[in-house]
Structure 1
Amino acid sequence: MALLPHAAQAADTYPDPRPVTGQRIIHDPTVIRLNSGGYAAYSTGGVIGARLSKDGRQWDDAGNAFAEPPSWWYEYNDTGDPWAPDISYRAGRYWLYYAVSSWGTNHSAIGVATSPSGLPGTWTDQGKVFTSETTDTWNAIDPALVEADGRLWMSFGSYWSGIRLIELDRRTGKPSAPDATVRHLATRPDLPYAVEGPYIVRHGRHYYLFASYDACCAGVNSTYRIKVGRSTTITGPYVDSTGTPMLEGGGDLLLEGHGRYVGTGGQSVFRDRGQDWLAYHYYDAQDEGTPKLGLNRLVWTKNGWPRVS
């Protein structure tokens, strides 16, 4: 039985994504406005697939972040296939976090690369950040960075027990100790705990946790949808607008499939000239379920909750 959407964002009111042209095919996008001008988007596919845009509307294929996979990636899958990158800018350089894993296992790793420009072909891999094994109750994929009160944090997680959070060393971008505390932010009461792809944003006095729920990667049969909760502290607890904790299955529905735009998820948030934008992929029901780039502005209600616009 499907959960009812938040009344203020009923399915028939979901806005379509911003019209984009050029290379629209993408999966798990992370987008940033570059200091040099224009935009870069990285994604699952290729050796971290890259797209560039001058205006945020026309997107051009820009190859891959790397010319070839770093050798250690093959410890986690036979093809050196990276997933779900996250780009950010800090301490005078760009940081690109990503995951390597195989479908259906939590023998997984999160790695990081750095670049002076954020452009494809300029990245230097810095190796592993965090790993998980089949004995762990979490899955080290889908990384996303957030700064809070001068400290650096990484949310991550997929299925298993849901969304997790660890603190990173600001200088290295990696955990300061191998036994860093792994905190729990969100899960579901039912197997297979289908919540993943976290992204945390600060707005006002709250931190907002966005996550993708249900099933991706099945074309027009995908059921991905984006939910959100908030907390006054980075470590939680995160709750929805009814007060239900995200550790107990809570979360306000922000965006789900509508019309041709099926399985909306794999989201991230980026800021552009004072405006927050939601980037995600959807499966185009009018193009055989091809995954494509979705961009919508995020607006904030008087009560401090995000809505897509």
Structure 2
Amino acid sequence: MKHITSFLFLLAVAGALQASPPRKPSSVIPIGKVMTHDPVLAKQGDTYYLFATGQGISVMSSKDMKNWKFEKPVFDKAPQWAGEAIKGYNGHTWAPDIIFHNGLYHLFYSCSAFGKNTSAIGHATNPTLDPSSPDFKWTDHGKVIQSVPHRDMWNAIDPNIIIDEEGTPWMTFGSFWDGIKLVKLTPDMNGVAQPEEWYSLSRRQRTFNLDEENAGDGAVEAPFIMKHGDYYYLFVSFDYCCKGLKSNYKVMVGRSKAVTGPYLDKDGKAMDKGGGSLVIQGNKDYAGVGHNAAYHLDGKDYFISHAYSVAEEGAPKLIIREMTWTPDGWPIVNF
């Protein structure tokens, strides 16, 4: 969702959505018809809630992960801080992450300008995800981190939060430039912990002489860390999204016994040296499978992402699949 090359495709998708008849709040949409980018999931009670890229952050709900209905977006209007901090930001908010921690649902989100690392990650909380609850209210806490061109060789988008075994919150994030970073957060997750702790988790080779304002050709983004057994698993997306049927996104993985890495692939190559083992890629029905999340829910593990439908000329669709594991502990997603 981040690059100049994807801009026209996103405009086309947005135009198609605007041309559709207004949705009724109660309309049920089967999963095969759900159009989305960068989905993440949370469950409260017997209801699943999906958050995704969209104006004000798109929200949907489901009782079975198969039939979905739209809920009200998180924000009615763009957070004031984001409009002031990010030149060119128009309220179309990218790549959220959602986690329940210490009695609150914590939502992290990306504000950026297309094709630049003029970006920031924000944080909002809510005691409940149920919009019918009298306690339902999103409180925005503003900016967690920001990237600035010519100052930072990283891009403050695509956040994901992992709580380590000691209860410490960490945020991984990044897209292109110098790859995927990890930073320790304060206990309330409103900012970077002091003294600062930063780690590089995944990167791909970038052409040496490119201007620093250029996103570059080290195509890695959308990190997501999941704990399974003795290991932390780092999922990332290689290559390019948001080009319809020309998208070649694919999901790669590595693992580490420490949340801070190094994350190694099946061959023992470190992901911060370009490593990564393939989890899933496009097939005859879908192009560009990527920007994934992974969860343990209801006694099973699930893989969630978007992909571009061949049958519907590249429309971005919601993908949810059960995820299993090899005997030696590597994820399998049948697709």
Give yes or no for TM over 0.5.
yes
Partner of 2:152: 136
**Equivalent position SS for 2:55:** coil
The equivalent of 1:72 in structure 2 is: 81
Secondary structure of 2:272 counterpart: helix
* Residue matched to 2:100: 89
How far residue 305 of structure 1 moved from its aligned partner, in angstroms, is 0.5
Q: Is the 8 A contact 2:177 2:206 kept in 1?
A: no
Residue of 221, 231, 240 corresponding to 2:256: 231
What CA distance in whole angstroms lies between the structure 1 residues aligned with 2:244 and 2:34?
A: 15
Give the total of aligned pairs.
289
Partner in structure 2 of residue 203 of structure 1: 228
Q: 1:42 aligns with which of 46, 51, 67?
A: 51
Deviation of residue 210 (structure 1)? 0.1
SS of structure 2 residue aligned to 1:97: strand
The amino acid of 2:101's aligned partner reads: R
User: Does the Cα contact within 8 Å between 1:65 and 1:122 map onto a contact in 2?
Assistant: no
Partners of 1:172 and 1:110 lie apart in 2 by: 12
**Is the contact made by 2:98 and 2:106 (CA closer than 8 Å) also made in structure 1?**
yes
Paired residues of 1:23 and 1:51 also in contact (CA < 8 A): no
Q: 1:292 aligns with which of 293, 310, 317?
A: 317
Q: Is the contact between residue 73 and residue 81 of structure 1 (CA under 8 Å) also seen in structure 2? A: no
The CA deviation at 1:46 is 1.6
Once residues 190 and 79 of structure 1 are traced to their aligned partners in structure 2, the CA distance between those partners, rounded to angstroms, is 29
Aligned equivalent of 2:39, options 12, 17, 29: 29
Pairwise CA distance, 1:23: 5.4
Per-residue CA shift, 1:127-161, capped at 9, x if unaligned? Answer: 01111111101111000000112211110000000
Match of 1:57 in 2: 66
- Which stretches of structure 1, 4 residues or more, deviate above 6 A after TM superposition? none
- For the pair 1:183 / 2:203, whether they are aligned, the reply is no
Alignment match, 2:174: 157
Range that drifts further, 76-85 or 89-98: 76-85
Q: Distance in 1 between matches of 2:189 and 2:179?
A: 26
Per chain length, whose mean CA-contact separation is higher, i.e. which structure has more relative contact order (CA < 8 Å, sep 6+)?
A: 1
Structure 1 position 258 matched with structure 2 position 283: yes
Identity %, equivalent residues: 39
What letter is aligned with 1:237?
P
Where in structure 1 are there 5+ consecutive unaligned residues? 1-18
Give the 3-state SS of the residue equivalent to 1:229 in structure 2.
strand
For 1:87 and 1:70, locate their aligned partners in 2 and report how far apart those are by CA, in whole Å.
Answer: 18
1:115 touches 1:124 (CA, 8 Å); kept in 2?
yes
Contact 1:32 1:271 in 2 (8 A): no
Separation in 1 of the partners of 2:191 and 2:322? 31
User: Quick one: which amino acid aligns to residue 195 of structure 1?
Assistant: V
TM-score where L is the length of structure 2: 0.83
Measure the CA separation in 2 of the matches of 1:20 and 1:280.
Answer: 16
Distance 1:66 1:260 in 2: 34
User: What is the CA-CA distance between 1:63 and the residue it aligns to?
Assistant: 2.9
Partner of 2:184: 167
